[in-house]
Structure 1
Amino acid sequence: MKSFRMKMICILLGVSLVPLIVATVYSYNISSRNLYEKINLATMSSIEMLAKSIDNELQRLTADMEIVTSSREFQHAMNQIRTSRTDGDRWVALQDMDEMMIGMFGKSKGVSGIYITTPDGITYAIQDKYHTDLKAFARSSWFIGKDIGFSSIVSRGIEPMQDGRYALIFGKLIRDVTDLGNLAEIGSVHFAIDPALFSSVMIQNKEDSALFLLNNDGQVVVSQCQEEESDNFYRLIKDNIMQRKETSGVIPVTANENKMVMIYDTSPLYRYQTVRFIPFSIYNSEIKNITWITILFALFCVIIVVLVSVLISKNISKPVNILSKAMQYTEKGNFDIQLDCNRKDELGDMTRSFNRMVRQLDTFFRQIIENEKAKKNLEIRSLQYQISPHFLYNLLASVRSLAVIEKAKETSEMLSAVSKLLKNTVGYAGMLIPLYQEAENVRRLLYIQNVCHNGLIKWDLELQKGTEEFLVPNLIMQPIVENAVFYSADMNTGKVEINISIRKEKERLEIIIQDHGVGISEERQKEIFRERNHKGQFTHVGLFNTRERIRLNYGEPYDLMLYSNSKGTKVVITLPLLLEEEEIVLAPG
């Protein structure tokens, strides 16, 4: 046995290790390459989204600038500032301009200065955060002059302000559009944008070494890196990106003897460039993870090969498989199985224990089934004897009342009807009877009740042709009919009207008993079917127990349903279509 197992181990190791090593190396190379591509794609995607966000922010700002500077109110205010003859008039015009600009840009975090200049040298600043010297303002190299022409908002680049900070300058030459024939120059307007506006958009990842935003002139708008390394990174950008025609790309670079990957993208609208520097160590750390995973996977596979070679043998696997299949068979509720076993080892003990367990389970479940059947039959018998005493009591009380009233003249006829009714009900207790016989019992019952009520009961019973031979539980309709007689009488006249319809509905037998009384409230309906114990409440016994008989005998979907309103009550009984009596104990009528 040991020699055979050692040979199996050697053969399996020799066959498995060579392809395993090849597969491991191949998987390592594929995983590494996919990792590079995945990281680059993810980073490029984030750079593209960042570039689009920059475009959206600039587009929003320039759109707001165009809206304000192209409005009639702005043109009017510029003309008022230019043509005012007194300082008071000019002050009013400047206040109007101030309110207009603050109303548009007062809550904007980006606009940090608005500067308005007229051709005659009047310069006015609104929400200026740079403390600009307005006299030197028009002498700036980026000041918009007549050479700009009449177009739209233009970018003048990143410029140093007088307090040492930098601002992104946008400007526009304003001409009088009210005089289209002349289009005279009436001034210029400049907007200073704080580059910090883009800092909220330029979110640096923790693995980034640096993050830059450059305008279309190659000027740095925002930089996020260590200050002493800023020039070195910017030099790499100038040497590797600004000379390229591609608008996006991934470039390996070296900064301070550290290998990095420079990833850049250009915004499609304003041509702003976003540049990220990612250390190559990020890639290496992921490669290390793949390396360790590959090594562990290879070791795991070797261990599995060794274990499988040791464990696989016919002497062990065959009886285990047989026992496993037998267990799966018994899990489905099949206990008619016994395994042959002549083994004297532990597997033999397990098989014999399994056989004993199956026999015990089979006996146990059979006993449970028998107990449930007995319990169900006892419950049905109990319900049967709850209904019968009420029915017999009402019949005898009716006969006694009639005998007292009529002094026995019509008693013989009524007693004859009662005798036949009792013969067909008590005599067939716990049995299924033909539907025509049950209908005849109901007719006799209504005849007796009509005599007792001095002819005040009006009723009709419609039995669909072809349904007469279907079998129904004895006394299935009597409790419902009695309820209708006793509880639907008119309060003033004592009249009772009952309609009974019996028909085949699809694959069911449907019995509808309807009266025209005052109905049953929703709360009382819930109470009727809530509890089993309804002592002294005949209505509850009749409806509740009849429903229980149907449910216990037939189960879903057969039932007794109650519908009631102020115009009457309708009881619908659904039963299966039976032509031969089944082996079931039924509650007699």
Structure 2
Amino acid sequence: MPGRWHLRPFIAVSLLGLVIAFVLITLLSFYAVFRLLIMREVERTNVEAVVNDMLRIEERFQEVEETALTVATNRRLVDRLDDPPADVYDRIVASRELADWLSGIVYVKSYLTSIQIYTDSPLAKAGSRILPMSDVPWEGELVRFREVDAFWISARSDPWASGGPAQVLTFVIKIWNSRNVPIGYVEMNLNERALWESIGGRVDRERGVGRMYVLLDREGRIVSRSPEFDESRLAGTNWLERAALTREGAEVIGGARSKELMVVVRDSTGSRKLVSFVPVGEAFRNMERLRNLVLAVGAVVLMSTLPTAAFISDRVIQPIVRLLEGFKRVETGNFRWRLGPFSIVEFDQLAQSYNAMAEQLQGLLEQLEEEHRKKRDAELRLLQSQIHPHFLYNTLDMINWTAAAKGAVEASEMAAKLARLLRISLGKPEQWIPLDEELEHVSLYAQIQRVRFGDRFEFVDRVTDEFRDLYVPRVILQPLVENAIKHGFDADAGERAQVVVSAVALDEKRFCLMVEDNGKGFAPGSPVRFEQAGGRGIANVHDRIRLYFGPEYGVECSNRQPRGAVVRIVLPVIRSGEGDDPR
């Protein structure tokens, strides 16, 4: 046997390794803390920058909206559109005056490319700033006027721009007359490039990378992108979906070329989001230097600890790995795996304890399996054993014929019913029978009991046809009805007893048989009472069902209001024709 060790001297030998580990932990902790601080500072700085950019964009949008509102409420414009001159020449003059006025606004507001008025007024004409409604280029957006009086349209081309077609963001607002009736729309086009130039360029032209922006609306749709926006940098990141779901803040996402720092900021109204992207390498450039320094120091320390690490791995790690492997084998049911011997005394003791435990578990498992097999075989033999009492059937038939011949009609009927009841319960070898036969069996039992109780006992079968073809274990209802009669009613008190059998579906795979009575119910504090009735009581029914189908099935007992009890049997849906063995 190899040399044995005690844990205490072994720990002393391993102290050198622990010291080195402490140094490594210190270095890593230092790096992690400073990395976190740098990341937070960089994220805070970037968020502040994007917030300022969002404020400038929001200010520009407000300027456009205020200008559009001024145009839409201009009294001269409203009067001309609502009550145009009757003379053609006067209309032409009025149209030119309004066009010149709109051109002056565009000239003053350099960030605007054009202003158009769309109306059905006679002043409208093609090629002018006052156009007919049929020329509306954003006709598909008109449905939005059902909910609002003004809205923004995502980036599009403006053919009316003074310097030629340009990409614009369009703001549209209704024009109302004095009778509060809409008579047209003001279209105000904001130059997209001018919008992004208003927040300043942050692209590193030499490196070809830098910050890029995208503007989203409330629904997360793209309204505009900055000129330097390069979506290939974000390939495979689902950035649009993530930005739409992010309320505000910064996060790092993996791009096709490199990781990107994504910053999301909302405007004051919550109707728009400004999303910026900057390469992580650019944002966290200082952190890379810190990381390289820590890696260099860590590499030197690790190289010096290799002999100690090998020693610890051989003396400590390997026994632990073997122990873990042994426990994993126990989990899978393999109790024959043995451990040891180990050179460390404590590990060797653990191995011996494990080996003893595995042997005991193996013995107990074999014992339990044998007991379970014997119990199951005994129960199945008891449940499956069938008596073929032909002499009993013949005797009952002879009693029936003799009683009928002598005029004892009631005795004859009871003998016939008892013979039929025994044929159903004992006459067939199958363990499962159609529910219809089981209901016939319990009905015969109830009819025999009715001879005893007369009009003071009533049995009601309310099971619908949809359940009668389902297969159930044999003799599961009669013990429940017997229990209701025996324990639920006082035979000497003259009570009128009623037992009702019904069925309901629980889901596609389960249904429930219910036996309800109007008796005195279960005793308080005893919600469940499984009485034995000739070896086939409620407990027997419950155990048989759980044995056949599992713990989710069985018998449940409870009281009814205002009085009485209900016993529920939860069974699987087993339809005829599914095989000889319904399980």
TM-score (norm 2): 0.40
Bigger Rg, which one = 1
Q: Which has the higher contact order (CA 8 A, sep 6+)?
A: 1
TM-score (norm 1): 0.40
